[in-house]
Amino acid sequence: MTFLVDYNLDGYALVFLGILVKLGWLEFISIRFVTFREVGLSIASSDRIVWHYAQENQMMILTANRNMKGEDSLEEVMRAENSVDSFPMLTIRNLDRLDEFDYRERCIERLIEIVLDIDNYMGAGRLFIP
């Protein structure tokens, strides 16, 4: 599974990968984190553009700050375009707590649960972790 990491979490992508390695998950499942820069998206991209890019490339978005304001907001895009085949968007509940090791690990554990059971989360829209 590939995660499109929102620009506000760029620095955490490597940290998340390290936790996955430490916990041994990468030996069993394929997880990749890609940044906006790596896929050619601007940090100013609207939620609509980001959501479409992720869906077209079968990715889940990992973010901490996409909002619900305006016609291009994630909430509006999901209401209008989400289907049973849409990949969910994972939103970290508390960005400030990512400095805490235990919180980061809980986020990764929840992320793994979702990946392992992705068929049951397709079409769910936004999921909050941990």
Q: Where are the alpha helices (DSSP H) in 6-100?
A: 10-23, 36-39, 47-56, 74-81
Kindly report the CATH number assigned to the domain that includes residue 58. 3.40.50
Q: What is the dihedral of CA 43, 98, 25, 57, to 10 degrees?
A: -20
Q: What is the pLDDT of residues 78-125, one digit of tens each?
A: 888 999 999 999 999 998 899 999 999 999 999 999 999 999 999 999
Residue % of the chain over a pLDDT of 70: 96
Instruction: Say what the pLDDT of residue 73 is.
Output: 80
Rounded Cα gap, residues 64 and 129, in angstroms: 10
For the ranges 6-10, 101-105, 125-129, the lowest mean pLDDT is seen at: 6-10
Structural domain count of the chain: 1
Instruction: Say what the pLDDT of residue 7 is.
Output: 87
CA 15 from centroid of its chain's CA atoms: 14
Instruction: Say what the pLDDT of residue 69 is.
Output: 67
Q: In the sheet where 2-5 sits, what is the strand order? A: 32-35, 2-5, 59-63, 89-92, 126-129
Site of tokens 């996409």: 66
- Yes or no: say if 98 and 12 are a contact pair by the CB < 8 Å rule: yes
pTM to 2 decimals? 0.90
Q: What is the pLDDT of residues 43-54, one digit of tens each?
A: 898 888 999 999
| Domain interval for residue 22 | 2-114+123-129
Residue 11 has pLDDT above 90, yes or no: no
